[in-house]
Chain A
Amino acid sequence: MNFLQLLLVPQNKQQREAQREAELYKALIHHEAKIGGELFGPVAKGGRREFFCLDERTWVWHEEWTDKAGHHVVTTRYDVRPNGVFKSQGNNSYQALSAQEARNLYNAMCLYYQRVMPELMRIGQAA
């Protein structure tokens, strides 16, 4: 093993570990997104719905469905700021939430927390 390999081996190991952690984190979010998507009732056959907390200030809603007009995909990103919540859809600019929408989002966040936290605790106990 030459000097270059000596330098590279630990780095590769670190990279692999980082990659593994990223994959595990991805799996956690996917699991949450599935739970979140089930909070709002039925999804049409062939449709898809996900709702999840991306980070401390970002929530994402994703919906796919097909009708006579074709396949539709709507993704909404909610950015939580101290002075309110703003949303954007697709590549469009942000706009502030209406009062009713804010109330619904707040309730959804509470419900999400109620459903997801026990799952995370269960995962921790199983590990």
Chain B
Amino acid sequence: MRLRGHRVGVLRHAMTNGAVALQDFRSTESPQWQPGTSQLTEFPEFRPADAAQVQNVATVAMAQAPPEGQVPYESDPTPPVGSTEVPSLADRLTQTATPVENVQPEVLGPDFTSPQNIAELSAAAAGLATPAERV
């Protein structure tokens, strides 16, 4: 399963990168899940039961990831042809998003946490009360 091995490598590296980038924000506090208050513009909070399961996962991932400069994983480091086209929603973003390097502080986008948006999104989130139904 070459693809599976590739995917495992991608995830381990993603965890390592995330741990490095977010190290200043990490906290031992577990955010509490508050139904109806989650704003879609903010990353959603967690149910307490789930938050309790988050323990040292990034540490394990970092230990499993190969050192910098080594071949990251068993397969071709280049993703398979067409992989970035999937899902299509991600592809659309990839095509339209501005590279981070080109973003200047003064040209950041609209404030997603504006009162109007918060009210609108909170109202939408408040409707998330029925059991999950996948499409």
Bound form: Cα–Cα A17–B72 in Å: 23
Q: Decide if B79 touches A75 in the complex (CB within 8 Å).
A: no
Q: Enumerate chain A residues within 8 angstroms of B85, measured Cβ to Cβ.
A: 22, 26
The total number of A-B Cβ pairs within 8 Å is 245
Q: How many residues of B are in contact with the other chain, CB < 8 A?
A: 78
Q: Enumerate chain B residues within 8 angstroms of A100, measured Cβ to Cβ.
A: 31, 42
- Chain B nearest CB: distance from A97 CB in Å? 7
Q: Decide if A53 touches B10 in the complex (CB within 8 Å).
A: yes
Q: Enumerate chain B residues within 8 angstroms of A93, measured Cβ to Cβ.
A: 98, 103, 107-109
Q: Enumerate chain A residues within 8 angstroms of B103, measured Cβ to Cβ.
A: 86, 93-94
Chain A contact patch, size range = 35 or more
Interface of B (DSSP majority class): loop
Q: Decide if A18 touches B44 in the complex (CB within 8 Å).
A: no
Considering the complex, which residues of chain B in the window 41-56 have a beta carbon less than 8 Å from any beta carbon of chain A?
A: 41-47, 50-51, 53-54
Residues of chain A having any CB pair with chain B under 8 Å: 18-19, 21-22, 24-26, 28-30, 33-34, 37-50, 52-63, 65, 67, 69, 72, 74-77, 79-86, 88-89, 91-95, 97-111, 113-114, 116-117, 120-121, 123-124, 127
Residues of chain B having any CB pair with chain A under 8 Å: 1, 3-8, 10-11, 13-15, 17-22, 24-27, 29-31, 33, 35, 38, 40-47, 50-51, 53-54, 57-58, 61, 79-87, 89-90, 93-94, 96-98, 100, 103, 107-110, 112, 120, 123-124, 127-135
Told that A76-B41, A101-B43 touch, could you supply 17 new A-B pairs with CB distance under 8 A?
A21-B3, A21-B81, A22-B81, A25-B80, A39-B46, A39-B50, A54-B84, A57-B17, A76-B43, A80-B21, A95-B112, A105-B18, A106-B19, A110-B15, A110-B54, A111-B53, A124-B1
